[in-house]
Amino acid sequence: MSLTVAGSIAFDSVRTPFGERERMLGGSAVHCSLAASFFTDVHVVGPVGSDFGDEHIAVLDGRGIDVSAIERIAGGQTFFWRGHYEYDMNVAHTDDTRLNVFGDFEPKLSNAASEADTLFLANIQPDLQRQVRAQCSAARLAALDSMNLWIETTRDSLVAAIGEVDCVLMNDAEIRELAGQPNLARAARSIMELGPRIVVAKQGEYGAALFTPSGYFALPGFPLEDVRDPTGAGDSFAGGFLGYLDGRAERDGGHLVLDDATLRRAMAHGTVLASYNVEDFGTERVSRLKRSEVESRLAELRSMTEF
């Protein structure tokens, strides 16, 4: 069992009320892979430029992530994002985005990456997501994320991509926008009519909600008094969620269980990884996270939601 994560590998320059960083390691595939690496074997797929150094590879490699499917484009520049947050850190303000090597990216997966049982198509152009999906035909659980840009500019491709996955993980506002339906429960049902049997609505600090054919589940965000940088929280959630499901299947002898009870535990793992992600800039907190800290926060989360 292993998880392939395809998405952006990036340099992020971020300013929040609590500090700033220039060109730190980031990107959806990076945040997701690091989070998932606590639970299962991970292959990370995406392009980088000549400016991507060994010290950046080492952050992924140090967590045991398979970096052989990272494609290095000679002479190219790594995807770059500059943004900032005001005191309301639910809203990211983008100041600059440079696709760089992502502009001409044509995914070519390694054998190991293409044979993974679980696949996450992080938020990239939906035709690219479909190309990766086609190369991972063995995946028994495929999930995707997307964003308002693709809903508004490449809607047909996005709908086709959604029809080819089992699970959608998106922000609740984007689920409503995609469905053209302000009621979240109805919007999630209409996404399910496109194909997926699992819809996860990410709700920022409010937590996340899970919709399946048989039920509904919701978890609050883990309450934190110190949030330094929310960048990557949603991808860390996806990494904890999918990494837990894949790792659990590994322990079960390859039997991938997607019943409601298991999906709920996966939601809790996603919530915990997202909560650590935001405690420091970029990948800094999750890079130094210990498995014992994951377990202790899972226990805390359980105790603060029981009644």
The interface mask with a second copy, positions 25-64, x = CB under 8 A, is ----------------------------------------
Q: Which is nearer to a second copy, 145 or 205 (CB)?
A: 205
**Stretch of 55-63, 71-79, 220-228, 239-247 contacting a second copy, by CB under 8 A:** 220-228
Which is closer to a second copy, CB of 186 or CB of 255? 186
Q: Which is nearer to a second copy, 101 or 301 (CB)?
A: 301
Give the burial string for 183-209 (b: 16+ CB within 10 Å, else e): ebeebbeebbebebebbbbbbbbebbb
Residue (of 24, 2, 27) closest to 15 by Cα position: 24
291 binds a second copy (CB under 8 A): no
The Cα–Cα gap between 116 and 246 comes to 10
Q: Give how far Cα 150 sits from Cα of 117, 178, 201, 284, 303, Å.
A: 26, 10, 17, 29, 38
Phi-psi region of 216 (alpha: psi -120 to 50; beta: other; left: phi over 0): beta
Place of tokens 């293409």: 114
Q: Which of 54, 75, 225, 253 binds a second copy (CB under 8 A)?
A: 225
- Residue 158 in contact with residue 135, Cβ under 8 Å? no
Binding to a second copy (CB under 8 A) within 161-200 occurs at: 182-186, 189
Q: How far is the CB of 163 from a second copy (least distance, A)?
A: 23
Q: What is the DSSP string of 1-29?
A: --EEEES--EEEEEEETTEEEEEEEE-HH
Q: Is 67 in the site for a second copy (CB under 8 A)?
A: no
Residue 224 touching a second copy (CB under 8 A): yes
Nearest approach, Cβ of residue 67 and a second copy (Å): 33
Least Å distance, CB 88 to a second copy, is 6
CA-based nearest residue to 243, from 40, 7, 34:
40
Tell which positions 80-119 bind a second copy, by CB under 8 A.
87-89
Residues that bind a second copy (CB under 8 A): 87-89, 182-186, 189, 203, 205-207, 209, 215-221, 223-227, 261, 264-265, 267-268, 302, 304-307
